[in-house]
Amino acid sequence: MTAESLVIDNIGSLITNDPALGRGSLGIVENACVVIADDVVVAVGPAGAVADRRIDAGGACVLPGFVDSHTHLVFAGDRSEEFTARMDGRPYDGGGIQVTTDATRATSTARLDALVRERLAEAHRAGTTTIEIKSGYGLTVDDEVRSVDIARAHTSEATFLGAHLLPREYAGRADDYIALVCNDMLCRVAGTAKWVDAFCETGAFDADQCRAVLDAGRAAGLGLRLHGNQLGHGPGVQLAVECGCASVDHCTYLTDADIDALAGGETVATFLPATDFSTRQPYPDARRVLDAGATVALASNCNPGSSYTTSISFCIALAVREMHMTIDEAIAAVTTGGAAALRREDVGRLSPGSAGHAVILDAPSHHHLAYRPGVPLIRQTIGPLSSRALPLCGHGMGDDGVGRQRVDGHDRPAEGPQ
């Protein structure tokens, strides 16, 4: 059976991210249309193409769906009081992770899954169509397994982050906990997670411990990611490049040697500006990294303690205002940059053969995403958060009645691909 086709027509400004198709590095095409069939772009051209269904963009800007390559959506509990205290002057040290761990452990699988679905729906309304989700608030074998299972039920980009923080029951025994992560935990999640991650930071895990996690993850067939250089200068960035991580995330404190390593390697520097906003940390010097030739991504880092937002538009505005990125660079960072951080070539662009995931703005230009910060400019999001979600079942599911069929993790627009 031939797939039903959809045309997004009467586009005033189309961001393709393919310079061969249009103007500049973003491949901008004016007075354009995009034809999608079976969730894949089949044509980009002048307005007026015919398809089975039509969305009239009304002269608005259309761009690829956002790729959010760093989130922590599997959690329970609220840390608004911690945020309020921080705004009153208490510094951020990462210790609140244990608070969320306690709440997450105490919450049923069914409820955790429902919370993830709510956050995914919010992200989809805000323009995100591809998303990575980490575990990391369980920190026991069974709780990490169920967190990865929940993440994998909603996205192919599920990350095992058992090495997020040392749980209190392992106080003073970090090496024993890392052994648990590298053996029992990893063995249980290896068939479900796509990625392994660790938090390389003072107060979390040191370079040798993180290297052990990355090496074990690689041996188990997982791709590698790393949190690094968030709270101060440290070995995280160079460790990530040395190990061949797809991405090193935060990158708030960078030496010249760190930047040289990023520029000379294939590891994406993923900035998380909403975290720096929420923690009153310095913003990364994205300009130095970009000028050195490294690949850059922006992501939300949605989590309850240091960045409780799913708004990529907010991250774009922060990056432009506070990190000295151009608007075009910020748009690339949340599309092709995020795709690179996930080692994906099918998302983050709107060109023939790419995923048919698009955002229609209530604005004539992508510049408005930074020009009008805080304004809800996402008129419509077309395409699912993930086209590869699996049934929620398996290793970590308890007897709390969660269904075995896939739970739809987002609101699909009435006219978008189904």
Q: Tell me whether residue 79 is annotated as binding.
A: yes
Structure tokens at 413: 């627009």
In sequence order, the 6+-apart residues with CB closer than 8 A to the CB of 4 are 37, 52, 53
Q: Tell me whether residue 305 is annotated as binding.
A: yes
In whole angstroms, give the CA distance from residue 341 to residue 361: 25
CA nearest neighbour of 182 among 156, 160, 167: 160
Structure tokens at 295: 């690949």
Structure tokens at 143: 């709780």
Q: Tell me whether residue 306 is annotated as binding.
A: yes
Does residue 75 contact residue 303 with C-beta atoms inside 8 Å? yes
If residue 28 lies in a helix (H) or strand (E), which one and from where to where? strand 28-37
Q: Tell me whether residue 357 is annotated as binding.
A: no
In whole angstroms, give the CA distance from residue 273 to residue 182: 30
Q: Tell me whether residue 398 is annotated as binding.
A: no
Q: Tell me whether residue 17 is annotated as binding.
A: no
Does residue 296 contact residue 251 with C-beta atoms inside 8 Å? no
Residue ranges of E strands in 102-156: 128-134
What is the tally of helices (H) and strands (E) in the chain? 15, 15
Q: Tell me whether residue 303 is annotated as binding.
A: yes
Does residue 35 contact residue 14 with C-beta atoms inside 8 Å? no
Q: Tell me whether residue 230 is annotated as binding.
A: yes
Q: Tell me whether residue 395 is annotated as binding.
A: no
Q: Tell me whether residue 177 is annotated as binding.
A: no
Question: Binding site for N-formimidoyl-L-glutamate: residue ranges?
Answer: 137, 303, 305
Question: Binding site for 4-imidazolone-5-propanoate: residue ranges?
Answer: 79, 137, 164, 230, 306
Question: Binding site for Zn(2+): residue ranges?
Answer: 70, 72, 227, 301
Question: Binding site for Fe(3+): residue ranges?
Answer: 70, 72, 227, 301
Question: Binding site: residue ranges?
Answer: 70, 72, 79, 137, 164, 227, 230, 301, 303, 305-306
